[in-house]
Structure formats: C-alpha cells, structure tokens
Chains A and B, each alone.
Chain A
Amino acid sequence: MHNLLVVIPAFNEEKNLPNVIAGIRKVLSEADILVVNDGSADATASVGRELGDVLVSHPWNMGYGVAIQTGYKYAFANNYEFLVQIDADGQHDPEDIPHLLEPLVADSCDFVLGSRFLAEGSYKPTLARRIGMKLFSALIRISTGERITDSTSGFQVFNAEVIHFLTGDHFPCDYPDADLLLVLHRAGFRIIELPVVMREDAGGRSMHSGLRPLYYIFKMLLSIGINLIRSVPERPGRAQ
C-alpha cells in the first residue's frame, strides 16, 4: 500500500523509537513513516531522521494532541489516503495494523479505534483509570449511541476525509480522546472499534500523572458538554 502514512508522535523516546519503527517496517514495508518529534530533549530527532522516512520537529514541546495534528497536516498536504497513528513508547503492537486497516480499505468505515479491552486480558489499568474510562465510555454511549470500550486509545487508523477534517479547528488538541470521538460521530463519520494487544513491558511513561488526571476529567466533561451544544461540525468538501 503506497498511500499509507504511519504517524509516530514522540517525546523523549530515543530508546523505544527504534523498536517501534522496526516493528512497523516488518509489517508495512511500503508505508511511509513520519516521526513527529515534540520538542524532545534527548536524541529522538536524530533517531527519527535516521530510521523514519520523514522527521517533523516541533520548535518546542506542544503536547501529544498538537503532535498528532501536525502528523495529520503533513498527511493532508501530501495527499495520503490512509493514516495510522501509533504511540512511540512501544505499547502498541504494529502487527495489529493490517487488521485495523482492513475495514478502511473495504470502505466499511472511516475511523478505526484500536481497543485494548476487546482483546482478552491484554490490558489491566489501575482502578482510578478504569473508573474514568468507564465514565467516558458511558458518556459516549449516551450521547452518540456508539459502544466504545477504549476512548483513550492512541492506536487509530483513518481515511483521507477524516485526515482533512482533523486538520481544522474541530480537532481538540488538548487530550483528544472521548470528545474527539463525539465530534467525529456528530460529523457523520463511521467509527468502529477493533481489538488490539497492549504491551505491558513497553516502559512508556504515562501522560496522566500528578494533578493531570483531575484536569483531564474536568476538560473532558466540559468538552463533551460543549460539543453537544455546538452546531454539527461540517465535513470537508461538503460545504456548498
């Protein structure tokens, strides 16, 4: 598949990045790999330049959401048909990518979310995290009718129309999780969830430490509420 871009947002991931890129190359030899270095202080940029196909380096650290949106902007500017988004800490198994791509290639959906809960026993989050995830899944179910088990998953695959849509202001750069799914659903995109395996021994650092979980819950609740009272977002190319 020539028109596929794999986006790896990376912040201080010089150790995990080589394995992640090697894993992707093994499964998708023809895909282009874009490493978005989000202002790392270590050698992430040089590792990305050496092993990836393209390196985009932020001038300063702007956060995970902004890093993945930079990837979408690159994909949109270069007319990629499909985009795979995978974390740089090695928690996602690249072997899952072909099976996530299948429904997209068959055009039976626009956005595929890799769920760590649909695969049996692959992921066991802490109790607090589990409660938060259940809460947001319930909110998504109530507001959209979609059954989403893993709204915080960063393992996502989607098509060109979604890429274009997410380059605009609709994309919530500050922790794009449940609210992103809500925005996509309201815009009429077809979302499905497929099981993916989570690697426990990846050694990745959580983005949710200190007081961030509290802010995350507040931001997500506000964002979901606000999105419900906003007018339905317009899909690109549909405005006349």
Chain B
Amino acid sequence: MTANQKIFALTICVVIFLMTIELVRRRRLREEYSILWLTTSLLMFVLVIRYEWLEKLTYLIGAVLPTTTIFLGALLFLLLIVVQFSMKLSEISNQLKNLGQENALLRAELEKMKDYEQEEKSEEKKTIETE
C-alpha cells in the first residue's frame, strides 16, 4: 500500500468516524444507528494501519486481492445496514398500527362521551323549562 493510498483511506475513516460522532452529538442520529458506522470506520482504520492483517484476512477468505476483501466488507456493511433498517421499519410499522388503532378507539370513546354530555345537557334544559 502506497503512502498516498494510506493517507486517503485513513482520512476517509477519520471523516466517517467524526461525522457520525457529530451527528449523534447534534441528536440527528440515534446511538443505536451509529454503532455500525463507528465499528466499520474503526475496523477500516485498523486494517489500513495494519495492512498485513488485511492480507491475512484476504488469504483466509480465499480472495486474491486485498481490494476484493475491502469491497466484500463494504457490501457486507451495507447489507447489515439494510437489514437493520428493515427490522426497524417492521417495528415502526407495528407501532404505527397500534397507534392508529389506539387513536381510533380513543376518538370513538371521546365521541361517546360528547354524545352523553349533550344528552345530559338537553335533559337538564327540558327539566328547567318544565319547572
């Protein structure tokens, strides 16, 4: 790995890491979603510093070039992110369903109370009028 390549890769890792931290600090990104980003940038950082580890990993998974391992890692990372989002979407859909149902049931209850109140008022009026 040339010095230029190293500097470029390290810069990307640092930028991603700092950007994630900053987004969490500004509450634009929740902690639970930052874990994957932070872990990946840290892992990339280590693999750039310790290039021989990347070569060993490449040999272990049966790839020919370290770049293949990097691409595979990136693909895996994106896949994990998508699975995490799908899980969250399912959870949110379920919560939204429950919220919609709760809203509908409460509205029905409120309308029932309003009807009851109106009935009571009209009865009161009637009794006052007859008196």
Contact = CB atoms under 8 A, between A and B. Distances in A.
B99 to A, nearest CB: 9
A173 B93 CA distance: 11
Contacts of A57: 104, 107-108
A66 B108 contact: no
Nearest to B96: A62
Given A66-B97, A173-B97, A59 B103 contact: yes
B73 interface: no
Interface residues of B, number: 11
B105 interface: yes
Contact of B105 (A60, A70, A169): A70
B101 interface: yes
B105 A73 contact: yes
B105 A74 contact: yes
Interface string A71-84: 00110010000000
Interface residues of A, number: 17
Contacts of B107: 56-57
A15 interface: no
Nearest to B97: A66
B100 A60 contact: yes
A57 B103 CA distance: 9
Interface string B41-72: 00000000000000000000000000000000
A58 interface: yes
B111 to A, nearest CB: 8
Contact of B108 (A60, A62, A69, A74): A74
A36 B101 CA distance: 10
A182 to B, nearest CB: 20
B112 interface: yes
Interface string A151-176: 00000000000000000010001000
Interface in B77-131: 94, 97, 100-101, 103-105, 107-108, 111-112
19 contacts: A56-B104, A56-B105, A56-B108, A57-B104, A58-B100, A58-B101, A58-B104, A59-B100, A59-B103, A60-B100, A62-B97, A62-B101, A66-B100, A66-B101, A70-B105, A74-B105, A74-B108, A77-B105, A173-B97
Interface of A: 36, 54-60, 62, 66, 69-70, 73-74, 77, 169, 173
